[in-house]
Structure formats: structure tokens, C-alpha cells
């Protein structure tokens, strides 16, 4: 909880109980940290002027000019190295088809190197170099990227529902775009095996930033939209634990207690 502003201090026009951080570049209104959003050049905009903020395209939006491979690589590097600046300047909305395509490519870079590594090393460990299961290997190469694209699409739809439930007025296209571009960290999957322990958590954190900027919402709402699965899992785990404790306690009481 923030301390009340002292006398003479500038306060936020939306939240008078909060101290103003900076005035809006466009209208000059004093705004707190929760109401401010920074544009591509770092200029602050208040909550009312965010819609007028100029956006800059990410490399993925310029793939026709840059080439697909280069645009994908540059976008992933920007998400990995400068996530806050990248998501703050990008256009919030985008084509669902473009987002799903980006998810598919991220599935390729995130998981296929590990698949290739395991299929390459398994015959060496077994001492039978000729034992490579080619049909199984080929099916993994196709199924994993498709599964990542389909699963991410469905997960983004659920995230959008949760975000709307917590008060964020964000279109599905914006949620889908944020979900897709946050997977730019899957580029680390080019390092097989070890990267799998990093990219999933890293993408969760990048997605919070993407939802915050792209959906024009607070950090808390964005975090709920991303981690609702974990909250649900912990809640179910707690209920299961409470149920098991109740059953154990009932069994102990029926048998006259622990002796």
C-alpha cells in the first residue's frame, strides 16, 4: 500500500491518493505509475492518451521486407533482450493467422533441436547406430510444432477469457499477439535439452510484459491472466490435500485415535 502524498506534491488525476510519477507527454496530466505507458521513444502517456500513442512495428511485421528468417530471428532477439521496450512500442493488435504462424516457428526452434539430439544420441548409447526409428523421428518433427501452435492458440483464448473476467478490456487479437511474441524466447531452444528448463518460465514472464503493454492493463491483471493455470492447479492441490487430511482425520477418530 502506497503512503499518502505529502502536501504540495503532484498527485495522479485518476488516483488522487497516489503520487504522480510524470506528466503525460500529450496532455500534460499528472499520472501515477499504474496509469503511465511509455511509447517507442520512451515518452510517457497517461491512461486517456494511450490510444493516441504511436506504435512502431516489430521485425516480424516487416518480414516481407526483411525476409522471414531474419525477421523471426530479430523479433526473438528483441523479445529476449529488450522485452519491456519491445512490447511497449509494438502495435497491440495483429492478425490471428500471423500469431499462429509465429507460434509454429517458435515450436520448431524451441523443441525440435532437443528431439534431434535425443534421436541422434540414443543409437550411440544403445550401441546400435542402425536403430534410428525414422518414422517416429519424422512424426515428432511434424507433431511438436503443430501441437505448440494449436495448444498456444487455445491457451491464448482461455487467457483472454480470464483477462476479461478480471476487468481487462482486451480483444482476442491482442491477447493472441502477446502470447505468440512472448514465445520469442523459444529461440534459446537451439541449445538442446537444458533450454527446456528455462524457456517455459521465461516465456511466462515475457507474456506478463506483453499483456501489460499490449492489453493496456495493470501488471496485476496481466499476471493473473498468465498464471491463472498455476493458481488453479495450486487451488486444486490444496483442495485435494484438505480432502485427504479430512479422510485421514475421520479414519483416526473412528479407530479411537493414534496409539
Burial class (CB in 10 A: 0-12, 13-18, 19+), 38: middle
Question: 209 and 189, same structural domain?
Answer: yes
Task: State the DSSP H helix or E strand holding residue 240, giving kind and residue range, or none if neither.
Answer: helix 219-254
Domain assignment of residue 206, yes or no:
yes
- Tell me how far the alpha carbon of residue 69 is from its chain's centroid: 22
Question: 136 and 118, same structural domain?
Answer: yes
Question: 44 and 61, same structural domain?
Answer: no
Question: 63 and 45, same structural domain?
Answer: no
Question: 61 and 35, same structural domain?
Answer: no
Predicted local distance difference test score (pLDDT) of residue 216 = 76
Domain assignment of residue 255, yes or no:
no
Question: 63 and 97, same structural domain?
Answer: yes
Domain assignment of residue 107, yes or no:
yes
Question: 209 and 115, same structural domain?
Answer: yes
d(CA 242, CA 236): 10
Q: For 160-172, give one letter per residue: b (16+ CB within 10 A) or e.
A: bebbeeeebebeb
Question: 67 and 15, same structural domain?
Answer: no
Domain assignment of residue 26, yes or no:
yes
Question: 198 and 183, same structural domain?
Answer: yes
Task: State the DSSP H helix or E strand holding residue 45, giving kind and residue range, or none if neither.
Answer: strand 44-45
Domain assignment of residue 207, yes or no:
yes
Q: For 45-74, give one letter per residue: b (16+ CB within 10 A) or e.
A: bbbebbeebeeeebbbbebeebeeeebbbb
Return the closest-CA partner of residue 109 out of 176, 175, 173, 203. 203
Last residue of a domain, one of 54, 74, 94: 54
Structural domains in the chain (count): 2
Domain assignment of residue 29, yes or no:
yes
Question: 86 and 151, same structural domain?
Answer: yes
Predicted local distance difference test score (pLDDT) of residue 252 = 61
Question: 133 and 35, same structural domain?
Answer: no
Domain assignment of residue 70, yes or no:
yes
Last residue of a domain, one of 54, 79, 94: 54
Residue with cell 528431439: 115
Predicted local distance difference test score (pLDDT) of residue 130 = 62
Mean pLDDT by 10 residues, the chain (259 residues): 59 84 82 73 70 73 90 94 87 88 94 86 68 76 90 91 87 92 93 84 91 84 80 67 69 59
Alpha-carbon Rg for the chain, nearest whole angstrom, is: 24
Predicted local distance difference test score (pLDDT) of residue 1 = 45
Domain assignment of residue 209, yes or no:
yes
| Residue 208 belongs to domain spanning | 57-228
Question: 49 and 73, same structural domain?
Answer: no
Amino acid at each position: 500500500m502506497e503512503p499518502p502524498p505529502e502536501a504540495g506534491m503532484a498527485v495522479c488525476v485518476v488516483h488522487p491518493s497516489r503520487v504522480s510519477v510524470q506528466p503525460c507527454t500529450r496532455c500534460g496530466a499528472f499520472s501515477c505509475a499504474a496509469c503511465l505507458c511509455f511509447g517507442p521513444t520512451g515518452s510517457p502517456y497517461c491512461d486517456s492518451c494511450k490510444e493516441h500513442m504511436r506504435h512502431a512495428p516489430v521485425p516480424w511485421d516487416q518480414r516481407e521486407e526483411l525476409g522471414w528468417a531474419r525477421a523471426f530471428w530479430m523479433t526473438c532477439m528483441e523479445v529476449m533482450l529488450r522485452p519491456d521496450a519491445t512490447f511497449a512500442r509494438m502495435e497491440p493488435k495483429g492478425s490471428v493467422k500471423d500469431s499462429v504462424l509465429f507460434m509454429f516457428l517458435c515450436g520448431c526452434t524451441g523443441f525440435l533441436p532437443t528431439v534431434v539430439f535425443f534421436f541422434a544420441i540414443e543409437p550411440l548409447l544403445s550401441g546400435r547406430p542402425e536403430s534410428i526409428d525414422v518414422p517416429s523421428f519424422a512424426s515428432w518433427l511434424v507433431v511438436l510444432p503443430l501441437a505448440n501452435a494449436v495448444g498456444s492458440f487455445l491457451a491464448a483464448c482461455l487467457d483472454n477469457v480470464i483477462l476479461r473476467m478480471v476487468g481487462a478490456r482486451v480483444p482476442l487479437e491482442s491477447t493472441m499477439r502477446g502470447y505468440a511474441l512472448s514465445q520469442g524466447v523459444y529461440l534459446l531452444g537451439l541449445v538442446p535439452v537444458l533450454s527446456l528448463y528455462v524457456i517455459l518460465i521465461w516465456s511466462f514472464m515475457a507474456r506478463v510484459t506483453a499483456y501489460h503493454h499490449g492489453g493496456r492493463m495493470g501488471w496485476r491483471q496481466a499476471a493473473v491472466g498468465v498464471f491463472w493455470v498455476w493458481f488453479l492447479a495450486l487451488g486444486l492441490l490444496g483442495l485435494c490435500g484438505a480432502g485427504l487430511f479430512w479422510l485421514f482425520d475421520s479414519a483416526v477418530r473412528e479407530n479411537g485415535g493414534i496409539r
